Amino acid sequence: MRFFLDSANPTTIKDTLAVLPLDGVTTNPTIIARDMPDYMSLGAELKLIRELCGDRLVFAQVTSEDADGMISDAHEIVRAVGGRVSIKLPAIPSGFTAAMKLAGEGISVTITAAYTTSQAILAAKCGADYVAPYISHIDNLSLDGPAVAVQMSDMLKLHGFGTTVLAASFRTASQVERVIAGGVGAVTVTADMLGLLMAHPGTRNEVDKFNENWHKRFDKPICEMLTVNASI
């Protein structure tokens, strides 16, 4: 199970990777347009993301819409980012064509904004390492986003493809939990969503009880008590 951070904000990336063992960072044109500092060039932004991620996987998306333009974008992204990078291509006809050619060059490819199992299977046929359905966007079409992601994952496994479903665009923690329970191999979430996934009111209540019971008996934290005992 792989967890990625959905962000292009350098501070968010640095702070999050310092406290959680995530597998990398995902970006797209919307995220970069929102998060990239005004004083920074795109090349500098991508280089900084690579520096912050170390050898983790970085996802970056093309903006051209024709296959040749996508391939040119991809080559420039690979050059700019360096290291382990997966090129995100939209699930449109030219995107599948570009994916096939880039995968043939040994470049990791992610087919993104996939809405159907057919798109996921075609992505796999083109050699994509990942296919990314947008969970909340699918829900907005009065469909069941988590169920679609799970179905994609099941069909890819059934037909023997190595392509991993990378579920994205979550609105609620329950959506994340449903795709994980359904066997989806990877998710990408915002830092805020990670906070929701780590926290639970029940856990907070238990911690408060632990502390209350401890302080009824002892007036020092464990570290101080053990330090005192060790010196005796």
Apex 131 CA angle, 125 and 135, nearest 5 = 145
Rounded Cα distance between 143 and 115, Å, is 10
- First-to-final CA distance of the chain: 47
Structure letter (DSSP) for residue 134? B
CB atoms within 10 A of CB 176: 22
Q: Is the dihedral of CA 227, 228, 231, 232 positive or negative?
A: negative
Q: The tokens of 228 are what?
A: 């005192």
Apex 103 CA angle, 92 and 164, nearest 5 = 75
Apex 13 CA angle, 6 and 173, nearest 5 = 40
Max intra-chain CA distance, the chain: 75
Among all residues, which ones are annotated catalytic?
A: 88
Rounded Cα distance between 143 and 166, Å, is 18
